[in-house]
Chains A and B, each alone.
Chain A
């Protein structure tokens, strides 16, 4: 059945061609993926471990880390809850306007992060639609925490829903209907039937949301105002250090974000082994 077991015989390329294709692909991989990854740690540790730790211990870096963690702590639960709700509706039911709902959930992926930030500047900036509302409530949205949270919510809306929807559609509703026939309540059915079936995809969606919430740059950059120690998230701190020609410190802070990224790659690898994707359902990644 599988291509691996079938002898290659007539359908393989000649050895010289296989070798050239392999070398070309791996060379591309090294230049475009391995070297950029390696250069981050080389630059971060280039002046020794002491300098690395000093850069991470700097008050601005610690404030940026605290802000990024706070933003993620607010954004991740919200987008998880609403993503699960969307997946339940889209994955288990059919209703009018379903395609529109799915497209809207995908939309933030297609929109430039800068445009995402622009949306909130236009909404809450001078003459903005919601500016009077925010002013009446005495809330500063732009150049403050609420703006950063809104921009981050926008760019991370798709992740959980996207991981869950194809899986829940593929699983259908027979198991849930069986649970209902046996007398389980709706909530119990969801907790004990649906959730266990999708838990790894859900976990991966949460990991992706968290990684993006910590690492979002463009959208946050537009709304943050770059106030050092106040509205500077980790990626913005990286940018500011870099602009001040404090390269080693910039890369030290960047290495934290790189570790988060690598952890999300490992998570994908592990979760993929736990729950093989159903046929035709692309897992993870961008698509």
Chain B
């Protein structure tokens, strides 16, 4: 406090470099991100509205949209359940190999999607380590919708674990002790004390995993089977439209995906502000 007050009195020379660094960063973003996005908007605007609607309303596009949203939602839900469980186990329990398990959680984030795609396909294929026994049970994974969900669970896993983990680690153990000493059982402590604290992080993790799963391409197309109307996701349909030079159809689907991405980004920002507001009083109390 004293140091910063003195500093303020002496009026230190301002740091230089704002115009330069801001100029460079803005120019770069403009070139690499903003102009290309504008290109998509312009391409979308050039297409007559009726044609845009038609491109989205045809059966194949509707099936792809339903599949992409449904599979991404389901996968993100599975990630919430197992990601929260993993975060809990990694933070609260001590067991051999914990550090290795912790490091492995980032694998889906680091592994190129095409590699993940062929690995999952080999694993769940008819002769794969998991595909063969599951097939014997009558459960087909590769080239089905179930395969798509499994690939999306794989790519989304780190998002939930890595958002929930730090919140669990920072949780004040005194809260739980107080609740327990007041007679609350473990289940009640979990639902009444822990759950509200981690809820924003879980929601953030869900949204991140959902956003990632919705746009995912590489890890899905190998295991999906890619049957039009059945196992064809939106990103693949965009690629197919482009390959047949149907730029209007590709742009229509691309615009929908971009709009959803922006909405999800907005939701994430709102979630972050919400959890920061909630965290601030607690932080202030701890600092005192």
Is B82 touching A28 in the complex (CB atoms < 8 A)?
yes
A49 CB–B CB distance under 8 Å: no
Is A104 touching B269 in the complex (CB atoms < 8 A)?
no
| Alpha-carbon distance between A265 and B28 when the two chains are bound, in angstroms | 29
Interface residues of B in 80-124 (CB under 8 A from A): 82, 85-86, 88-90, 92-95, 99, 101, 103-116, 118-120, 122-123
Is B42 touching A115 in the complex (CB atoms < 8 A)?
no
Interface residues of A in 165-196 (CB under 8 A from B): 173-174, 176-178, 180-181, 186, 189-190
Can you sample 28 A-B contacts with CB below 8 Å? A4-B94, A11-B186, A29-B101, A32-B154, A43-B119, A86-B29, A89-B25, A90-B25, A110-B215, A110-B264, A110-B265, A112-B234, A114-B239, A115-B258, A157-B28, A173-B15, A174-B4, A174-B7, A181-B10, A186-B16, A190-B17, A221-B217, A238-B115, A250-B118, A254-B115, A269-B103, A282-B162, A287-B208
Interface residues on A, range: 35 or more
| Alpha-carbon distance between A103 and B29 when the two chains are bound, in angstroms | 11
Chain A 82-95 near chain B by CB (<8 Å), digits 1 or 0: 10011011101101
| Alpha-carbon distance between A257 and B233 when the two chains are bound, in angstroms | 25
> Which residues on B are within 8 Å of A, measured CB to CB?
3-4, 7, 10, 12-18, 20-22, 24-26, 28-29, 32-40, 42-43, 46, 82, 85-86, 88-90, 92-95, 99, 101, 103-116, 118-120, 122-123, 128-130, 153-154, 157-159, 162-163, 166, 169-171, 173, 176-177, 180-181, 186, 189, 204-205, 208, 211-212, 214-218, 222, 234-236, 238-239, 242, 245, 247, 250-251, 254, 257-258, 261-262, 264-265, 269, 279
Is B39 touching A242 in the complex (CB atoms < 8 A)?
no
- Chain B residues closer than 8 Å to A73, beta-carbon distance: none
A200 CB–B CB distance under 8 Å: no
Known contacts: A10-B177, A36-B123, A180-B15. The answer to whether A22 contacts B32 by CB under 8 A is: no
**Chain A interface, DSSP helix/strand/loop, else mixed:** helix
Shortest beta-carbon distance from B231 to chain A in Å: 16
Is A238 touching B114 in the complex (CB atoms < 8 A)?
yes
A120 CB–B CB distance under 8 Å: yes
- Chain A residues closer than 8 Å to B264, beta-carbon distance: 110
Shortest beta-carbon distance from A192 to chain B in Å: 14
Is A37 touching B119 in the complex (CB atoms < 8 A)?
yes
Q: Across the interface, name the chain B residue whose C-beta is closest to A27.
A: B82
Partner of A218 from the list B33, B113, B251 (CB cut-off 8 Å) is B113
